[in-house]
Copies of this chain bind each other. A is one copy, B any other.
Amino acid sequence: MGITIYDIAEAAGVSIATVSRVFNDNPRVSESTRAAVMEVADQLGYQPHASARSLARQQTETISAIVPMLSNYFYAEVLKGLQDRMAETSFDLLVYSAPTLDEVEGQLEKALHRGRSAGVMLFSAPVIDGLEQRLQQSDIPVVLVDCYHPAYDSISTDNRRGGEVAADYLLSTGVRNPAVLMANPHSVPASHRLEGFRHGLSRQGITLEEDHLIVSSMGYHDGFNEQAGYEGMTKLLEAGIKPDGLFATSDVQAIGAMEALRHSDMNIPEHIQIIGFDDLPIARYVGLTTLRQPMSEMGARAFELLMERMTRPANTVAHTVFAPTLIPRTTTREHVAV
């Protein structure tokens, strides 16, 4: 079926070694034979067989990304940055998704499968013992995105800091009785955001009331969606709770909450001010104040880290942490001078 190196060799009157050299840009080939080989190859439409090549070379040119789910726009944005950066290389991207924590191990297993990928990017997954062991025994390079473990390169946003900034900002615009919509209890980023928020509050002597915290108690990556935000806000409203500020652990949750508020007698930002997290493109168009994560930049950097690790496995482990930046828009009021 496919035409092979043997066909080219025969047609060009050289050995297969020479054909191989031509296709590997080996300098030890004369210009004339190189040209001859290329001519024949072009004519016959030859392409080296991907598997044969990686088998012989003992290495692949594909990397794997394991994300909770593609339909979460945060990942879509990060992957976009990753792909843009990858497009300049000859690497291919395998994408696995693991919507629940239980599935992470299985997907990781696929990605780590011997001979499958040259490197793996694991997104937003707490590196628990089982995973850690698995990663350790396969010695393929790994970079963690949106999560952290001391033993692996990682790239993330300073979620605690983001929470603090959210608290500081809300407080500065007059909020005194805030509520929080937290994605889900198993999400490390969400937990850190909450933690930072609480800390920011406490520094100014404010505490988050017990019943003002709504946690979407779903799987490991659920809760990061509009519906969770909508339901969370509705729950608050139905309990007769009327906070004057709201911190949502993601933009989509904030947007869901905004819709719930539309059906209430509370106006944004007069009665309640809202701040999200991520700064998805959509945030700008709904006027949502938020903490920006440099999503596509994170994807691009993740790829670079992985490449670096692939070429220099002995490098010291490095953790890249981006500072989230506050993007004030119309769901919060103007900063109130003290």
Chain A interface (Cβ within 8 Å of chain B)? 1-2, 45, 47-52, 54-55, 60, 62, 69-71, 73, 76-77, 79-80, 83, 87, 92-97, 103, 110, 113-116, 137, 139, 225-227, 230, 252, 255-256, 258-259, 262, 281-282, 284-287, 296
Partner of A52, one of B55, B80, B110: B55
CB neighbours of A87 from chain B (8 A): 97, 103
Asked if A45 and B137 make an inter-chain contact with CB atoms under 8 angstroms apart, the answer reads yes
CA distance A62 to B95 in the complex (A): 11
Q: Are A92 and B97 in contact (CB under 8 A)?
A: no
- Name which residue of chain B comes closest to A103, CB basis: B87
Q: How many of these chains are in the complex?
A: 2
Residues from chain B with Cβ under 8 Å of A52 in the complex? 51, 55, 115
With A and B bound together, what is the CA distance between A215 and B246 in angstroms?
38
Q: If the complex has contacts A285-B255, A285-B256, are A92 and B96 also in contact, measured as CB distance less than 8 A?
A: yes
List B contacts of A2 (CB < 8 A): 114-115
A41 to chain B, nearest CB (A): 12
Contact of A49 among B47, B49, B55 (CB under 8 A): B55
**Partner pick for A115 among B49, B103, B225, CB 8 A cutoff:** B49
Q: Could you tell me if A281 and B226 are in contact, using CB atoms closer than 8 angstroms? A: yes
Closest B residue to A54 by CB, please name it: B51
Q: Is the CB of B113 within 8 A of A50?
A: yes
Contacts of A259 in B (CB 8 A): 284-287
Given A281-B226, A287-B259, do A70 and B80 touch, yes or no (CB 8 Å)? Answer: yes
